[in-house]
Amino acid sequence: MVVLSSRNMTFKEFIDVAVNKEKVSLSDELIDKIKKARDLVEELDKEDTPIYGINTGFGFLAGKKIDKDKIEELQFNLIRSHCTAVGEPYNEAVTRGIMLLRARVMSQGYSGIRAKVINLLLELLNRNIIPVIPSQGSVGASGDLAPLAHLAITLLGEGEVFYNGKIEQTNEVFKKENIIPVKLHSKEGLVLINGTQAMTANGLIQLYRAKNILKSADIIVSISLDALKGTIKAYDEKISLIRPHQGQINTATNIRNILKGSEILVSHSGCGKVQDAYSLRCVPQVHGSIKDVIAYVEKTLLIEMNSVTDNPLVFPDEKEIISGGNFHGEPIAFAMDFLGIAISEISSISERRVEQLVNPNSNDHLPAFLIKDEGVNSGFMIAHVTAASLVSENKVYAHPSSVDSIPTSANKEDHVSMGTIGSNKAAKIIDNVEKVIAIEYLIASQALDFRKPLKSSVAVEKAVSILRERVPFLTKDEYLKPYMEAAINIVSSGKLVSEISELVDII
Q: Which of 327, 333, 407 is nearest to 143 (CA)?
A: 327
Return the number of other C-beta atoms located less than 10 Å from residue 43's C-beta. Answer: 11
End-to-end CA distance of the chain: 28
Which amino acid, 54? Answer: I
Q: Is 259 helix (H, G, I), strand (E, B) or coil?
A: helix
Q: How far apart are CA 256 and CA 106, in angstroms?
A: 47
Q: What distances in angstroms separate CA 121 from CA 98, 174, 176, 185, 368, one per listed residue?
A: 11, 13, 17, 16, 57
CA distances from 443 to 179, 256, 371, 440, 469 (A): 52, 21, 10, 5, 15
Give yes or no for a contact between 45 and 37, defined as CB atoms under 8 angstroms apart: no
Averaged pLDDT, 36-54: 83
Residue 49 has pLDDT above 80, yes or no: no
As a whole number, mean pLDDT of residues 196-223 equals: 98
- CA nearest 301: which of 206, 439, 399? 206
Segment holding 130, helix H or strand E:
strand 130-131
The one-letter amino acid at 17: V
pLDDT of res. 74: 85
Compute the distance between CA of residue 104 and CA of residue 308 in angstroms, rounded to an integer: 8
Least reliable range by pLDDT among 306-310, 341-345, 363-367, 381-385: 363-367
C-beta separation of 74 from 66 below 8 A: yes
pLDDT greater at residue 60 or residue 478: 478
pLDDT score of 268: 81
Contacts of 390 (CB under 8 A, 6+ apart): 347, 351, 432, 433, 435, 436
Mean pLDDT in residue range 74-80: 90
Positive or negative torsion for Cα 346, 348, 349, 350? positive
Q: pLDDT digit string (tens) for 94-143?
A: 999 999 999 999 999 999 999 999 999 999 999 999 999 999 999 998 88
The helix (run of H) or strand (run of E) holding residue 86 is: strand 86-89
71 — pLDDT class (breaks 50, 70, 90): confident
For residue 61, what pLDDT is reported?
58
How big is the CA angle at 372 (ends 371 and 373), to the nearest 5 degrees? 115
Checking if the pLDDT of 333 tops 90, the result is yes
Average pLDDT, the chain: 94
pLDDT interval class at 463 (50, 70, 90): very high
Query: For residue 59, what pLDDT is reported?
Result: 62
pLDDT band at 58 (very low <50, low <70, confident <90, very high): low
User: Considering the domain 2-195 in this protein, what is its CATH number?
Assistant: 1.10.275.10
Q: Active-site residues: which are they?
A: 52
Band (pLDDT 50/70/90 cuts) for residue 45 is confident
Confidence at residue 357, expressed as pLDDT on a 0 to 100 scale? 97
* pLDDT value of position 271: 65
Distance of CA 169 to the CA centre of its chain: 28
Rg of the Cα atoms in the chain: 26
The neighbour count for residue 470, using CB atoms within 10 Å, is 13
What is residue 72's predicted lDDT score, i.e. its pLDDT?
A: 81
Based on the number of CB atoms within 10 Å of its own CB, is 430 exposed (0-12), middle (13-18) or buried (19 or more)?
buried
Give the amino acid at 132: V
Q: Coil, strand, or helix at residue 67?
A: coil
DSSP 154-221: HHTT-SEEEETTEEEEHHHHHHHHTPPPP---TTHHHHHH-BSHHHHHHHHHHHHHHHHHHHHHHHHH
> In the chain, pLDDT over 70 holds for what percent of residues?
97
Read off the pLDDT of each residue in 282-299 and give the average, rounded to a whole number.
98
Alpha helices in 359-494 (DSSP H): 381-397, 419-449, 458-468, 481-492
The reported pLDDT for the residue numbered 50 is 73
Question: Do the first three CATH levels of 2-195 and 203-501 match, i.e. the same topology?
Answer: no
CATH class in words for 203-501: mainly alpha
Which among 156, 136, 131 is positioned nearest to 146, based on CA atoms? Answer: 136
Residues 70, 137: contact at Cβ < 8 Å?
Answer: no
CA–CA gap between residue 467 and residue 469 (Å, rounded): 5
Buried-exposed string 384-402: b where 16+ CB fall within 10 A, e elsewhere: bebbbebbebbeebbebbb
The larger pLDDT score, comparing residue 5 to residue 47, is at 5
Does the CA dihedral 167-169-175-178 come out positive or negative? Answer: positive
Q: Which of 255-269, 370-384, 442-456 has the highest mean pLDDT?
A: 442-456
* Domain ranges across the chain: 2-195, 203-501
Measure the CA–CA gap between 127 and 118, rounded to whole angstroms: 14
pLDDT of residue 147: 97
Name which residue leads in pLDDT, 359 or 65: 359
3-state secondary structure 269-305: CCCCCCCCCHHHHCHHHHHHHHHHHHHHHHHHHHHHH
349 and 435 in contact (C-beta within 8 Å)? no
